[in-house]
Amino acid sequence: DTGVSQDPRHKITKRGQNVTFRCDPISEHNRLYWYRQTLGQGPEFLTYFQNEAQLEKSRLLSDRFSAERPKGSFSTLEIQRTEQGDSAMYLCASSLQGEWDEQFFGPGTRLTVL
């Protein structure tokens, strides 16, 4: 399978716990994006990487959220001290920088905070 993969697909956690999600992009793609999506809404941009550099981070993102892409390949998104409002689908997408870069999405990680 050469598409974008995400792990885990589902995560249930108690409020206050930390969670970490992983995204493996399409191998030749140098751009990687994290989005959050709630029911009935479009994807909400969280952050993006070009290679290993984190180039932009949403101002909506609290300091409980952190993302890394240490070797410019896979990425992790960590949420510390989870809150019920963090319950959402977390989507990862990758693209190849070019004239226009179609973003290919992974299946997402559905987070439920109890």
Partner 1 sequence: GQNIDQPTEMTATEGAIVQINCTYQTSGFNGLFWYQQHAGEAPTFLSYNVLDGLEEKGRFSSFLSRSKGYSYLLLKELQMKDSASYLCASVDSNYQLIWGAGTKLIIKP
User: With respect to partner 1, which residue has the nearer C-beta, 17 or 41?
Assistant: 41
Q: How far is the CB of 81 from partner 1 (least distance, A)?
A: 27
- By the rule CB under 8 A, 72 interacts with partner 1: no
- What radius of gyration, in Å, describes the C-alpha atoms of the chain? 13
Contacts of 72 (CB under 8 A, 6+ apart): 30, 49, 51, 52
Span near partner 1 by CB under 8 A; candidates 11-19, 35-43, 68-76, 80-88: 35-43
Q: Which of 22, 26, 30, 45 binds partner 1 (CB under 8 A)?
A: 45
Residues 91-110 touching partner 1, rule: CB under 8 A, are 91, 100-108
User: With respect to partner 1, which residue has the nearer C-beta, 72 or 107?
Assistant: 107
Each residue of 53-83: b (16+ CB within 10 Å) or e? eeeeeeeebeeebebebeeeebbebebeebe
Angle 26-10-7 (CA atoms, 0-180°, nearest 5)? 30
Chain positions contacting partner 1, by CB under 8 A: 40-45, 48, 56, 91, 100-108
